[in-house]
Amino acid sequence: MHAQQYPLRDNSRVPAMDELKTVLEFEAVAFAKLSREAYTFTAYGSEGEFTLRRNRRAFDWVELIPKAVVDVSSIDTASELLGTPMAFPIMAAPTAGHAELHRDGELATHQGATAANTPMIVTTAISSMSVKPAARA
């Protein structure tokens, strides 16, 4: 995939991870790294974009704070949902089209969620690229 060029954005450089101070600043990295189709699929909303606007407002509440600044050793985020213990109250939502963002699609999302001990809700619209034939014995 090639980065897209858009005349109204500064495409001269992609910010480094240590330069990103808010969650929405990651959008510039996605814009530079993803194909136009993948970026459009993930960045824009549908119809009146109500959910998109609500999500952006919610992310305004998120502040990225370096771990060295705040003592997090006594924070316990563990919770339980429907009898499933979780280290933190986050789950991977049932979304599709992951193959646009990663060559292994939803399989890679599942592997990441499993590594983080996070439940993943499986979508009924899995990317066809994510479905790999089973190995023969």
Question: Model confidence over 95-128: pLDDT tens digits?
Answer: 888 888 888 888 999 999 989 888 888 888 877 6
Query: Are residues 59 and 122 part of one domain?
Result: no
Joined together, the tokens standing for residue 96 give 């599709």
Query: Are residues 59 and 80 part of one domain?
Result: no
Of the three residues 68, 87, 102, the one that is the final residue of a domain is: 68
Instruction: Yes or no: say if 80 and 86 are a contact pair by the CB < 8 Å rule.
Output: yes
The verdict on pTM exceeding 0.75 is: no
Contacts of 137 (CB under 8 A, 6+ apart): none
Question: Model confidence over 73-94: pLDDT tens digits?
Answer: 888 988 888 888 888 888 888 8
Query: 109 in a domain, yes or no?
Result: yes
Instruction: Yes or no: say if 107 and 132 are a contact pair by the CB < 8 Å rule.
Output: yes
Query: 103 in a domain, yes or no?
Result: yes
Strand ranges (E), the chain? 79-81, 84-86
